[in-house]
Amino acid sequence: MEEIKFNQIGVSFKGSGSYVPDQILTNQKISQKVDTSDEWIKSRTGISERRISNLKENVTEMGYVAALNAIKMANWDIETIDLIILATSTPNDLFGSAPSIQAKLGAENAVAFDLTAACSGFLFSLVTATQYLKGGSFKRAIVIGADQLSSFVDWNDRRSCILFGDGAGALAIEATNLFDNFIGFDMRTDGERGSFLNLPSKNNKDSIVDNIDFLSGGFSSIQMNGQEVYKFAVREVPIILEKLFRTTNFSSDKVDWLILHQANQRILDSVGDRLKISKEKILSNLEKYGNTSAATIPIMMDEAIRDNRIKQNDIIASSGFGAGLSWGAALFKWG
Ligand code: ACO
């Protein structure tokens, strides 16, 4: 038989890692702060509790541990890492937190930068990293999703504060000329609908000297139109996944796992129904962590890889969606 040669550069998934803070904020505890109940939150979102960073934890610390765990699973020497992308909207340094993770890891040969796309950030970063690997620029990449939304939630706003938590997850991926496990992707944004979910700057007018005014920097809290975000997610996520299945000649029945951004269990169920993907294939850990923004997809993956639900060569369809508005989908094979 004629030997089939793979003469392109492909991508292989080698490791995963995650980190969540120990501090648990249950629905019961939130109901001491705002007028809500465990029953309301659980039935509308599927969330029972979320993790909140302590005073020493931040995106760098959480992202570092997640990355280190992924590197350990991949069994890589730190100096062989070429690229570190940190998906975050809540860096502890507005100039970028990825280089501080690089420094903590001692990954001196890597270039590290942040990428911001809210809850789509991990998916956008994963796509970005795979394109560098497939293009031949880099061989080994760490993609991290880490967010600390607890610092930006309005803890007096019951419509939004119930949803969010903190955490980090990471994947280790590398270039290979043997096969390509990154099957396809699609990405979209629509700034026209951006006002449905944002975390705007809050500037105060001040002056430097006479006649030279400036705006001092700062941020407000998360502003969300929950119903519009909900409608956006249940409409756009199935559309982008169906399109991806079509363009890659895949059908949803070949998918082993659907890993969606963990925003709301009702969104996960609705997307699964639309795509005719059975409930057992839709991974969810919303109950324990709520919405950790850029971290939800890699935390979920790491959990399912470590407990052996996700096995070598399993086909994963994933979609991230959120502020921007932004959304994207990727189809890949674990391993
Ligand atoms: N507890 C009790 N009652 C509440 C609460 C609460 N925590 N929050 C809202 N309510 C009340 C409202 O005031 C309203 O009361 P009213 O009818 O007397 O006015 C009633 O419940 C219904 O409110 P809705 O907003 O219609 O509730 P809905 O069923 O839409 O659920 C929710 C709200 C959970 C926020 C839902 O809309 C949702 O999940 N949307 C998606 C949000 C999301 O995922 N955002 C993150 C995206 S990812 C990113 O990029 C960060």
pLDDT digit string, tens, across residues 278-326: 999 999 999 999 999 999 999 999 999 999 999 999 999 999 999 999 9
Residue 204: inside a domain = no
Q: Which of 155, 179, 203 delimits the end of a domain?
A: 179
pLDDT number for residue 2: 52
Give the integer Cα–Cα distance in Å for 183 and 245: 10
pLDDT number for residue 6: 63
The larger pLDDT score, comparing residue 8 to residue 24, is at 24
Residue 255: inside a domain = yes
pLDDT number for residue 294: 98
Closest ligand 1 atom to residue 263 Cα is 44
CATH (domain of 16): 3.40.47.10
User: Is residue 150 predicted with pLDDT exceeding 60?
Assistant: yes
Query: Whose CA is closest to atom 31 on ligand 1?
Result: 44
Residue 116: inside a domain = yes
pLDDT number for residue 134: 96
Q: What is the DSSP string of 220-276?
A: ---EE-HHHHHHHHHHHHHHHHHHHHHHTT--GGG-SEEEE--S-HHHHHHHHHHHT
171: part of which helix (H) or strand (E)?
A: strand 166-176
pLDDT number for residue 56: 95
Same domain, 168 and 83: yes
Residue 216: inside a domain = no
| Residue ranges around ligand 1 (CB below 6 Å) | 36, 40-41, 44-45, 118-119, 158-159, 162-163, 197, 224, 226-227, 229-230, 263-264, 291, 293, 322-323
Average pLDDT over residues 23-28: 98
Residue 111: inside a domain = yes
Average pLDDT over residues 138-144: 98
Q: Which amino acid is at 276?
A: K
Residue 243: inside a domain = yes
Average pLDDT over residues 247-260: 95
Q: Which residues are within 8 A (CB) of 144 and not within 5 positions of it... i.e. 6 or more apart?
A: 63, 66, 67, 84, 85, 86, 87, 88, 98, 101, 125, 168, 169, 170, 298
Same domain, 60 and 172: yes
For residue 188, what are the domain limits? 183-194+221-333
Buried b (16+ CB within 10 A) or exposed e, 194-204: eebbbbeeeee
Under the banding of pLDDT at 50, 70 and 90, the label for residue 28 is: very high
Tally of CB atoms within 10 A around 27: 20
Give the integer Cα–Cα distance in Å for 108 and 18: 22
pLDDT digit string, tens, across residues 80-123: 999 999 999 999 999 999 999 999 999 999 999 999 999 999 99
Same domain, 189 and 120: no
Average pLDDT over residues 170-184: 97
Query: Whose CA is closest to atom 9 on ligand 1?
Result: 159
Same domain, 187 and 291: yes
Under the banding of pLDDT at 50, 70 and 90, the label for residue 3 is: low
Give me ligand 1 centre to Cα 228, in Å. Answer: 10
At 48, give phi and psi (nearest 5°): -110, -35
Sheet strands (E) in 91-162: 111-115, 140-148
Give me ligand 1 centre to Cα 145, in Å. Answer: 25
Same domain, 61 and 94: yes
Please give the mean pLDDT across all residues of the chain. Answer: 96
CB 335 within 8 A of CB 178: no
For 320, the token pair is 């991230």
Average pLDDT over residues 212-227: 94
- Number of folded domains in the chain? 2
Task: Choose the residue to mutate in 188, 227, 228 for probing ligand 1, maximizing ligand atoms within 8 Å of C-beta.
Answer: 227
Nearest to 221 by CA among 162, 139, 155: 155
Task: Give the CA distances from residue 100 to residues 60, 87, 112, 259, 295, in Å, rounded to whole numbers and listed in that order.
Answer: 7, 14, 9, 29, 18
Query: Whose CA is closest to atom 21 on ligand 1?
Result: 159
User: Is residue 125 predicted with pLDDT exceeding 70?
Assistant: yes
For 249, the token pair is 């000649």
- In the numeric block, the tokens 């006002």 are attached to 195
Same domain, 155 and 15: yes
Same domain, 26 and 125: yes
Query: Whose CA is closest to atom 32 on ligand 1?
Result: 226
Same domain, 291 and 166: no
Nearest to 160 by CA among 255, 16, 264: 264
Give the integer Cα–Cα distance in Å for 250 and 255: 8
β-strand partners of 24? 51
Task: Choose the residue to mutate in 32, 45, 150, 230 for probing ligand 1, maximizing ligand atoms within 8 Å of C-beta.
Answer: 230
Give me ligand 1 centre to Cα 183, in Å. Answer: 36
> To 10 degrees, what angle do helices 226-247 and 265-275 make?
30
**Percentage above 70 pLDDT, the chain:** 98
Nearest to 68 by CA among 106, 30, 117: 106
Give me ligand 1 centre to Cα 312, in Å. Answer: 38
Query: Whose CA is closest to atom 42 on ligand 1?
Result: 226
pTM over 0.85: yes
Same domain, 72 and 136: yes
Query: Whose CA is closest to atom 44 on ligand 1?
Result: 263
Which residues are the active-site residues?
Answer: 119, 261, 291
Give the integer Cα–Cα distance in Å for 72 and 216: 42
Task: Choose the residue to mutate in 26, 48, 188, 229 for probing ligand 1, maximizing ligand atoms within 8 Å of C-beta.
Answer: 229
User: Is residue 329 predicted with pLDDT exceeding 70?
Assistant: yes
Residue 296: inside a domain = yes
pLDDT number for residue 147: 98
pLDDT digit string, tens, across residues 30-88: 999 999 999 999 999 999 999 999 999 999 999 999 999 999 999 999 999 999 999 99
Under the banding of pLDDT at 50, 70 and 90, the label for residue 5 is: low
Same domain, 241 and 260: yes
Same domain, 161 and 296: no
Residue 1: inside a domain = no
CB 241 within 8 A of CB 329: yes
Give the integer Cα–Cα distance in Å for 84 and 36: 40
CA angle, 71 then 77 then 78, to 5°: 70
User: Is residue 4 predicted with pLDDT exceeding 60?
Assistant: no
Closest ligand 1 atom to residue 158 Cα is 7
Average pLDDT over residues 7-26: 96
User: Is residue 193 predicted with pLDDT exceeding 90?
Assistant: yes
pLDDT number for residue 113: 98
Same domain, 148 and 18: yes
Closest ligand 1 atom to residue 45 Cα is 34
Query: Whose CA is closest to atom 13 on ligand 1?
Result: 159
Buried b (16+ CB within 10 A) or exposed e, 260-281: bbbbbbebbebbbebbebeeeb
Q: Which of 154, 179, 204 delimits the end of a domain?
A: 179
